Structures are given as C-alpha cells and as structure tokens.
Structure 1
Amino acid sequence: MLRGIRTASSNWLGKVVMGLVVAFLVVSFAIWGIGDIFRGFGLSKVATIGNVEISIEQFRQVYNDRLQQLGRQVGRPVTADQARALGLDRQVLGQMLAEAALDERARLMGLGVTDAQVAQQITDEEAFRGPTGQFSRSRFEQVLREAGYTESRFVNEQRRLTIRRQLANTVNGELSVPKAIMEAANRFQNEQRAIDYVVLDRGQAGDVAAPTPEELAKYFDDHKIEFRAPEYRKVDLLVLSPEELGKWKPIEDADVRRVYEDNRARYVTPEGRHVRQIVFPNEDEAKAAAERIAKGTAFGAIAAERNLKEQDIDLGTVPKSGIIDRAIADAAFALRTNEVSAPVKGRFGTALVQTLSIEPEKVRPFEDVAATIRSDIAKDRGKDEMHNVRDKVEDERAAGSTLGEVAKKLNLALRTVEMDRSGRAPDGAQVRLPPGSQGLPAAFSTDVGVEADPVQFGDGGMLYFEVVGVTPSRERNLDEVKQQVEQRWRDERIASRLKAQAAEMLDKLKAGGTLQELAAAKGLKVESATALTRIQPTEAIPASVLSAVFSTAKDAAGSAEGNPQQQAVFRVTNVTVPSFDLQSPETKRIAETVRRSIADAMLAEYLARLERDIGASINQSALNQATGAVSAQ
C-alpha cells in the first residue's frame, strides 16, 4: 500500500493537491505502508512489527473510536462498507503500525524522556488549567476520568508520544518550501477560468424504445453482479440507555410540577433593558451634563461632544445581572423608558444612565416545558437504574440465556431487525439504530447464537445484539429486478447517445464551427460561467466538468459528463492567473500546507525504511474479522 501512496504522490503536484483539497482522517504520520506482506498467523493478532503485536481487541477499540469520531464529524452514522470505501480500516492500522514502528525504533536506539519533561508537558497543557490559568490537579483528574484514562496510562502515552515526535522531527522538523512550488500551488488553487457552454440532457437523447426481451436478458447476464441480493442478518436488539430505561417508569404529574417550581429560574427570561451610559471624570461634569439634559439637550449630543461613538455608550439590551457595575444596574432598572438618571457614582467613575426600552420578564408556561421536564426526570431515573439492569443482563447471558430470554425475564423491550452490511432492510429503508452504533458491523463478524460484546453509544448506553438468522447473498433472477434492470439499460442508452452528440459537436468546434451556431441548430442556449476555480464546483458546473475545463487550453473546446444524464460542451474563453505575494496570509497558508505534505512524504519514506529494517506482517483474516468484512474482501 505504501508503494501505492508513492505512486499517487510521485510528483510535487500530487502532494500539493493532496495537501490542499483532501481532509485527512488520520494524524500526519498515520499512513498505510508498514508491511505489504499479508499472511495468516493466528486470529488473535491483526499485525506484528518487530517484537510488537497488535491484537484484534486493540485494533477494534481504536477503529470503533475513529468510526464514531467520523460519524460525529459528518453528522450521521458511517456504515462499515462506507468506512472500508474510505479506507478507514487501513488508515487506522497504518497509524497503529507507524506508532509501533517508531516505538520499536526508539527502544532499539535506547531513547527516552525524563519524568520532569513529561510532567512539564502535562502541566503546560491548557486543558488542565483551572480558573486561575494555572495547572489544576483536580481539573487534570476530571479530564482523565471523563476520557476513561488512568493517570499512569496517560503519563505513559505522553511519554511515548514525546519520543515519537522527537524521532519524527529529526526526519522532517525544519523544512523550507521552494518558491517555485508555492507559486505552482497558488496557481493551482486560485487560478480562475471562464467558459461558454451548452448542456445536453435527456431531452436531446430522443425517445429510447423499450429493450426487447433478448436485449434485457443479455444486459442482465452481463451485469448480474450489480443486481445481486446482499447478505441479510436477522438480529435481536436490546437497548439499554438512561432514556430507554427511564421512559418505562411512570412519572406522576405532581413530580413534574414540583421540578418546575423548584427550578423556576431556569424557565424565566429576566427583564431586560436597552441601556446607554456616559462616564465622566468627576461628579461636577456629570451634574452639569445632567442639568443640560434636563433642559432639552439630547443624551447622544452630550456623548458626541465628548467624542464618544454610539458603540462607546451603548450597553445593548441586557438583564440586570449583565451589568457589571451594581450601582449602574440599580439606576438603569429604576428608570422609565427614555428617562435619564441623576449622576451615579459607579466603579469606573460618575455616570449618567439612560434606559431606551424595557423588555418585561418572560416566564415559559409549565405546559410548554412539561414534556422536556418529564424526559429529564426519566433520564435521571434511568441513570440510577442503568448499572443495576446491565449487571442483571450480564448475569443472565453468562448463564447461557439468549437475548430474547433475557429480555422476557427482565421485562425489557426487544426488537428484531433484518439488515445488510450497510444497515438497510430488505425494502431499502435504513434500519433505526441508536446513534453511534455505526450500522452495527459487528453483527456480520459473528455467527448465529454466539454471544457478542455489546456496543457502547451515547451517554452510557449499551446495545446488546444477537444474530438469530442469516440470509446468504444470492443472485437475483431477472423477474425480481426487471424494473431496475430496464431503467439501468435505458439510462446507459441515453448516456451513450449524449456522449456521441457531445463528441460530434466537439469535432465541429475543432473544425472551426462556433458554439452559438451549433447550439442554435439543436435549439439550445449558450450559457456563460466566470470565476471558476478548480476546487469550487457549482450546481451548474460539477467537479467532473471543472476538471475538464482546467485541462483545456484557452480558446480550446472540450466536453465532459456533468450531472446525471447530462453532457457539457464548452469553450474556455478566459484564463486569469492569480497574483503571488510571499507575505500574504493566503500564500503563508499554502506554504504551511505544502510543507506538511512534504514532511508527511519524508516521514512515509522513513517508515518504509523501518519496515524493511524491523519487518512487518499483517493478518488480513484478522483485519477482516475486526472490521466485519468477509474474507474475500
């Protein structure tokens, strides 16, 4: 795999593109490339490098953590198939192997870091600082506890991380980016182009007659694998969560009302006032200004005479607690609308205060918040019950009970679903699973009746599951998918016609024809697009068309498949080369991105050397087992 990365990034432009437009899912040195040797050597180990072994349990924990992080980033669960398509399994294993390789090299070199250095790094960490801005022991312990770390484990990991960084910095620590590369990267990212174009869509393809039975049968035979039914698994699900346990416990209306009254301040928006103030250096000046205002001088005019702008005197609409100076707050909240106070001795000088408007206190009615309060009560009660119920479930499972038997005995809700690896039911609908369970790939790495480890999700939730049935993947017959096959056949015919028409137009353009003439002959309108960049596709100009536009010389013509069932034919009318300023923030950002890309490439070469020196092996079967993939994958 490392050889594949070398090939993909074999020139500087590839590195620049990767650095500029790809959001990496792993840390800078978490690359795939430590070992292209796949062989089975015991299902308990995913990989070895030197004397270091990575077990299935170690890999699965890191992989599931990364899968959940990715799901939170994109705002929805990521299925096992999607994760494999992204190469997440290989990226995670690459990171673990890279870390193990650096650890092994450090061990062989006898490298270390003192306790004092580790302690200094920990005490310097901003996350561990208390209200005073200094290191807080209680804050340190709280953060570790919330992250599931013991102090010794955290300290040891910080020690290893420090040594890894030292090794990495000796390889790529101080790099300068050549000006030529920065200029090329700047042009790649910021060059703009303008085009005239026409879009050929389904309307230009004409009528497509229905396929004959023979044509349809042949198409289906040639594409049979695309219509194959996936493997489905029938799974019993038992969800334990504070919300799930709490909702089954009756909550009296009186309890809800009591919580509302006890926490009434939570449902009250306090009175707010739009306040302005002018602070004077002494009481005499404040009194003189107050006398002028009383005789008709505007409050704002007094401020203008003192060279104060509106933002200097306007405190906005604030509650009384939002005004730091208690004397000013008392004065402002004693005034009527548009009234100006007498001079007030505040913390920062003598002031005049004006109230421009008053927003009365607002109380959310009990009826508006009762449902939320009831849910909160249920969740709190569920938390109290969670540990007790979980222990009972574990005891029953240890005694050999099936999940269905456990649910029945403990009066818990059991749900049975049928789904494929992507988490979809046979009808194509997405199976509803708890947030964070990521499509439940683990259900495809176990067997019927085998007790599997529960999946953690949310705020302390546990998803217990048990496979109760398997429907193997199979070839569908034509009658089952006839409608989909015919639609796919028709779509391909339309795409083929549009591609042929686009090629014909392109030949005529290259022979001297104009886009306007060719468009008129087809009853099409010529559109224009300006300020196009490589990395900002639009609805009208998708990425595939952009790629073709930036591969075409000025005044030349090209074509590309655009949105589904569309072909775009275009002519490049203008190319704008961006200016280049070494001191601009944009250039500095590009330089840093390119520097990181080059640094990563250098570290990849170093890790490849470690592979050869130390030796690495990967157990593909164990990797598939850990991620829920079939052996064939």
Structure 2
Amino acid sequence: MATSAAKKVSTLFVWILLGLLFVALAGFGIGSFSGGASQVGAVGNAQITAEDYFRALNNEINAQSAQSGQAVSFAQIRARGIDEQVLAGLTARAALSHEAAEMGISVGDGEVARQISQIQAFQNTSGQFDRNSYEFVLQQQGSTPREFEEDTREDVARALLQTAVIGGLTPPEIFAEILTAYQSETRDFTRLAVTERDLPEPIADPTDAQLEAYYDEFPERFTRPEARRITYAWLIPSAIMDDVEINEDALQELYDERIDEYVQPERRLLERLVFGSDEAAEEALAAIAADETDFDTLVEERDLTLADVDMGEVAPDDLSDAAAEIIFGDDENEILGPVPTPLGPAIFRVNAVLEASEVPFEDAREDLSAELAQEGARRAIDDMREEIDDLLASGATLEELGEDTAMVLGTLDYTTASEEGIAAYDNFRDAAAAVEESDFPELLDLSDGGLFALRLDEIVPPALPPLEEIEQEVANAWQATALREAVADRASQLVAQLAQGATLDDLGDTAEERLIRRQDLLPDLPATTVAQVFQLDAPGDVVMIPGAEAAHIVRLDAINSGIRDGEDTSVLLTIMNQTIAQSMATDIFEAYGQALQADAGISMNQGVINSVHASFP
C-alpha cells in the first residue's frame, strides 16, 4: 500500500505482464519488421529485438483499435506515451529473463510442449493440437517453431521466478482487521440547523460601496470563461408547425389507428394457478374458502413464484368466452374458479379491476393535430434540405440563408455551460466545440428533425464584465456570502451557549442521524459533514459545520464499532485481505524488477527504436 492508486495503474501495465503465462500470438498476419535481428536494447544478457518491439507496438495498436471500434494510429499511441509503456514492459520482461538465466531457471521440452498444445489457435476442431495449424499460424506471424518454443520456454521461466518472489505472499491478518474496523465503524449524531430565520436581524440589501468592494475582491467569480462566438442558422419542426395544414380525414384515420389507446375495455390484473383436474382445483378452492390455506401458499407448494403465475393486465378478448364470462362476470370474489383454460382447469386471483375507458375523438383531437403537424413539419424541412445544401455549396452565407430560406439566424457565445435554445441539442454542442474558424458552414441534423449550420467567428477570451452590466448577479452573490457568514456566526454563538451549560435541544429543533458510515452521503447536509463527524473524538463532542444556506451544529452521540461476525463485515474483511495481498505483491514485485534492472544494467539503441517507429504509417 506504499504506492498510490494512481501509481498502481501506471505500473500495472508493466508488471502484470510478468505475472501472466502468455505467448506472443496477438497480431497474427503481421509481416516481420525488416532487420529483425537488430537490437533495440538489452538488460544484462537478455536482448530486446526490433522484431519484439515492433510486434508489441502493433499488438497494442490492434488492441486499442478493437476496444475503441475505430482505427488507432501509431501517432495517437505515441501521443499518449504508450510506446514508452510498451518498451518499459519489454525491458521488465528482459530483466526477468536475464535473472532466470543467471539463476539457471529453465523448463524442459515436455512442459514447453504442454503449454503450446493448450493454445486454442494451434488446435483443430476436436480441440487437439494440430501441427499444420501451428506452423501456419507462426508463418503468418513471421516466426518459426524454434523461435516460438524458445519464447515459450522463457515465459514459463519468468513465471516460475515470479512465483518464487511473490508466491504465497500473505499479509498479516491484523492489517485487514484494522482497516475493516476503520471502514465499518458507524457513528450516531444529533444536528441542529441554523438558518436565516434564526438570525436576530434579517440581512440588509448591499450598499453600492459594498457591491463595488465585493466585485473588486472576487473578480474570478464574475469573469466570463473563454467562449466561442458562433453564428448559426437553424430550422426546427416546432418553428413551422403552425403553418402545416392538417387534413381532417388524416386526423380521423390516425385516431382509428390508435383506437386501442383511446378506447380500452375493462381489464383485470390476474394470477392463474393451473391444476391437473377439476377435482384438484375444487379441493384447492374449498381449502381457501375454509381458511385452511391461501393462494400464495398453493403457489409456493407447487415450487412456483408469484411471477410464474402472474398474467398481468388481461382484457376479455385475451381469454376464451367461457373464462371471460366467469372472470369478468364476478365483481365480488377475489378467487375465482375452476376456470377452463388451454392448460387445464385453473383458479384465478383478481388483484385489481381497471375500469373501461374511452377518450372521444374530439378530446384526442388536439394531441393528434400536434403529432401530425410535427410530422408534417419534419417532412417539409426534409424537402428543404437539398435547396439549403445547394445554397451553402454555392457559397451562400448564413446571413443569406436567414434571408432567403425559412432558417432563423442567431449568434451565441458558446461555452460548455451553454444549454438554452439551440445549445440544448447535443448535435449542435458537438459541432460548436469542434468547429474551426477556417471551416465552411455545412448543413447538419438536429435530433428532432431540424437542420442547422454554423460558423465560428472568433474565440472570445475570458473577460470581466463591468459592474453595471452584472450588478444583480453581484448583488445575489453578495447576499449568498452574507447569509453564509451570518448563519455561521449565529451557530458559533449557540455553540458558546452549549459550553455554558445549554443543551442542543434547548436551542431549537434537532434531527438525529444513526449508523452513519464513513462513505455515506447526506444530501441535506454540507458535503464535509460525515468527514467532520468522524474527526470527533468522543460522544458529546460538538462541531459547527457552515453551509450555503444553513450552518449545522453537530453533536456526536455514539461511536459504533463494526460487527465482526456480520455478513457485510465479513465480506469487507475478505475484500480487504485480497486488496492488501494484491497491493503488497505489486509493490514487492515492482521493487524487485527495478532492482534487477539496476543490477544487470540497461542499454538502449535509440537509432533502432526510431527505425521501428518509422516503419509505422
């Protein structure tokens, strides 16, 4: 646990390779790097060839391309520093190979053959090792059986060395127990909120001098961020819906198509339990009537769940005529039957009755008209697309689109916080963030069927508006700050009263929080509340926690130790043990690898490295 979580992530790429028994099969079909015998570097007596480095880079490119779903170039890999990580991984492997050789660790041909025979790429359809497949795959990879078998031998030797270093590593049990006790501890506390209505006097409006002083003291609060000044032209269906003519026959036709939505018969929420015979169903009904059992018990005795017998919402047409007559003809009983069904005689339980409903055409007319108008507006916009596209292609400006078409012209100082008007559309936001000043406007789609085109006019640097332009904004900020300070001062005064013998209940209405864990978030309290409660030493301790609109006086009532034998605690203890063991193994193996590299010595040939890089397009 000596290293941070961030460092774990960065080093894991290098060292996890050392803990896995793997073979270099990724990247099948890649041709050999020219000059494969060239040496990129070495650790002691273990070489890192240009071929090794090329394949490792190519494998990483292929893996990231597969993960992202789009082609990843070598330039992108390099920009992220992944080439350095790949080379560091190869260096770490070479360090282990050098040490294994120095210690005389190796494996026999039998183990090498066993490892290779288990690789799926070398097996036939029956799962057996196939020599022809083996040689073909290696040929496609640009390798030979001898080279591959030696690589496998080295991989196994490295794995044996790793096992010798960190195998069986077990952290002290007390370590996990202490961390688990810390993590599972809970606390009880009582709190009192001090708000504006608890102040002796209301907060007065700020004077001009106070506003100016606040504005001068906190300019960063009012400075506008860098913005992208954009001119745009757009057209959305809602803007032309009123101009769309609605055909009366089309309205009626749409209503008729949706009749099942507007006219619904009586429905019932049913559960059905099927029996093998009428006699069995009758016996079950009689037992229910005599209070000897109930529907839930009958379901459970059949090894079923209520989900298995639930039919959901059922209309008369969903049942046979005989079943519908029995079920929908009885408005008094909850349990009905026996009822004939295609599966056999059944008893039904009625959980709810949904009354028949009907929405007349005239009541549905407004919604139907809006839907048809929206659809018609989308079609009209789609019909305009070609004309607008042609205008842009011929060099028309956005201003001319605003004059010659139905598109509406607008401007916007766009930032990531912009969300009104056209900035509410994700398509526009993406385009606004990506557009460059040299780009020509192009016609793009909006999610509701609308169209837009935009132009970046300039990048507006961060600026502080004059006070007179944002006076109300400054006044609101001053009021918020004054409120925060005033309630905090009042709460501090009340804490002083507690020190003189008053109780928290004497000061106002209190609320209790029980069994609060370190990781809990209390949405009605300041974000630091839980952390500050866990800094209190003993029951009775008090802390004042300021907030935006209220200050909170918190009294610690109890410190509750984690339940050692509880299910949650035992699970947490197991997780802690595993996490600590993995963290210790990573730290120890990382230190061991670094020591090996320092002792053996590392040499790199930057010319060969550059040559490998140059081989990528």
TM-score interval (norm. to shorter): 0.5 to 0.7
After TM superposition, the structure 1 = structure 2 runs for residues 385-464 of structure 1, keeping only pairs within 5 Å, are 389-409=384-404, 411-424=405-418, 431-433=420-422, 435-437=424-426, 440=429, 442-443=431-432, 446=435, 450-452=439-441, 457-458=446-447, 462-464=451-453
Alpha-carbon distance in 1 for matches of 2:464, 2:342: 82
Asked if residue 555 in structure 1 is aligned to residue 539 in structure 2, the reply is yes
1-side partners of 2:364 and 2:400: how far apart?
38
Please list every run of 5 or more consecutive structure 2 residues that lacks an aligned counterpart in the other structure.
Answer: 11-55, 69-75, 94-118, 126-161, 163-167, 301-305, 594-601, 605-617
Q: 1:131-530 alignment to 2 at 5 Å?
A: 187=181, 190-202=184-196, 203-204=198-199, 217-229=212-224, 235-239=230-234, 248-273=243-268, 281-283=276-278, 300-301=288-289, 304=292, 309=297, 318-320=313-315, 326=320, 329-332=323-326, 335=329, 337=331, 345-351=340-346, 361-378=356-373, 380-381=375-376, 389-409=384-404, 411-424=405-418, 431-433=420-422, 435-437=424-426, 440=429, 442-443=431-432, 446=435, 450-452=439-441, 457-458=446-447, 462-467=451-456, 473-485=462-474, 488-489=477-478, 492=481, 495-496=484-485, 499=488, 513-516=500-503, 524-525=507-508, 527-530=510-513
Q: Deviations over 1:6-64 (max 9, x none)?
A: 48999xxxxxxxxxxxxxxxxxxxxxxxxxxxxxxxxxxxxxxx989x9xxx99xx8xx
Call closer, same or farther: CA 1:387–1:484 in 2, change over 3 Å: closer
Q: CA deviation at 1:593?
A: 9.8
* Distance across 2 between alignment mates of 1:393 and 1:598: 65
* Alpha-carbon shift at residue 553 of structure 1 (Å): 1.0
Kept in 1, the 8 Å contact 2:237–2:381? The answer is yes
Distance 1:342 1:474, change over 3 A: closer
**SS of 1:543's equivalent?**
coil
Report if the CA contact (8 A) 1:545-1:562 is conserved: no
Letter in 1 for 2:289: A
Structure 1 residues 4 and 115, CA, compared in 2 at 3 Å: closer, same or farther?
same
Question: Is the contact made by 1:228 and 1:474 (CA closer than 8 Å) also made in structure 2?
Answer: yes
Q: Report if the CA contact (8 A) 2:233-2:401 is conserved.
A: no
The size of the alignment, in residue pairs, is: 466
2:228 touches 2:413 (CA, 8 Å); kept in 1? Answer: yes
Contact 1:231–1:421, Cα closer than 8 Å, also in 2: yes
**Which digits, 9 at most, give the CA deviation of each residue in 1:70-110, with x for residues without a partner?**
xxxxxxxxxxxxxxxxxxxxxxx99x94999889999999x
Q: How far apart are 1:575 and its partner, in Å? A: 0.9
CA distance in 1, matches of 2:391, 2:121: 46
Q: Compared with structure 1, are the counterparts of its residues 360 and 217 closer, same or farther at alpha carbon in structure 2 (3 Å cutoff)?
A: closer
Query: 1:477 and 1:502 mapped to 2: Cα distance?
Result: 36
Q: C-alpha distance in 1, partners of 2:573/2:242? A: 53
Task: Give the distance between the partners of 1:334 and 1:383, measured in 2 at CA.
Answer: 45
Amino acid in the other structure paired with 2:463: R
- Please give the alpha-carbon distance, in whole angstroms, between the structure 1 residues aligned to 2:349 and 2:312: 12
CA–CA distance in structure 2, aligned partners of residues 211 and 357 of structure 1: 60
2:556 to 563, 572, 577: 572
Say if 1:232 and 1:470, in contact at 8 Å, map to a contact too: yes
Q: Report if aligned partners of 1:234, 1:416 keep a CA contact under 8 Å in 2.
A: no
Partners of 1:331 and 1:353 within 8 A in 2: no
Deviation at 1:577, TM superposition (A): 1.7
Aligned to 1:349, the other structure's residue is in SS state coil
CA contact (8 A) 1:338 1:355 kept: no
CA distance in 2, matches of 1:261, 1:277: 33
Output the CA distance in 1 between the equivalents of 2:88 and 2:384.
Answer: 47
TM-aligned CA deviation for residue 255 of structure 1: 0.7
> Is residue 338–residue 354 contact of structure 1 (8 Å, CA) maintained in 2?
no
Write the distance in 1 (CA, Å) between the matches of 2:538 and 2:81.
45
Query: Residue 338 of structure 1 contacts residue 357 of structure 1 at CA under 8 Å; is this kept in 2?
Result: no
Q: Is the 8 A contact 2:235 2:407 kept in 1?
A: no
Secondary structure of the corresponding residue to residue 579 of structure 1: coil
User: C-alpha distance in 2, partners of 1:241/1:528?
Assistant: 51
Distance 1:596 1:460 in 2: 51
CA distance in 2, matches of 1:206, 1:356: 58
Q: 1:355 to 1:299 in 2, by over 3 A?
A: farther
Contact 2:539 2:558 in 1 (8 A): yes
Q: Distance between the aligned counterparts of 2:80 and 2:517, measured in 1?
A: 38
Residue 197 of structure 1 and its aligned partner are, at CA, apart by 4.5
* Partner secondary structure for residue 412 of structure 1: coil
Q: CA deviation at 1:438?
A: 7.5
Q: Deviations over 1:165-195 (max 9, x none)?
A: xxxxx9xxx9999866765665566533223
The answer (yes or no) to whether the contact 1:446–1:467 under 8 Å persists in 2 is: yes
Change (3 A) 1:590 1:9: farther
Counterparts of 2:585 and 2:373 in 1: how far apart (Å)?
55
Distance (whole Å) between structure 1 residues aligned to residue 410 and residue 182 of structure 2: 53
Q: Secondary structure at the match of 2:528?
A: helix
Distance 1:482 1:334 in 2: 68
Distance change (3 Å), C-alpha of 1:373 and 1:496: closer
- Give the whole-Å Cα distance in 2 for the aligned partners of 1:401 and 1:372: 38
Asked whether the equivalents of residues 544 and 553 of structure 2 are also in contact (C-alpha less than 8 Å), the reply is yes
TM-score by length of 2: 0.54
Alignment of 1:19-168 (within 5 A): 97=80
Deviations 1:589-610 (A, max 9, x none): 7966997999899999999x9x
Alpha-carbon distance change, 563 to 253 in structure 1, aligned in 2, over 3 angstroms: farther
CA deviation after TM superposition for structure 1 residue 485, in Å:
4.1
Q: Secondary structure at the match of 1:451?
A: coil
Conserved 8 A contact 1:332-1:354: no
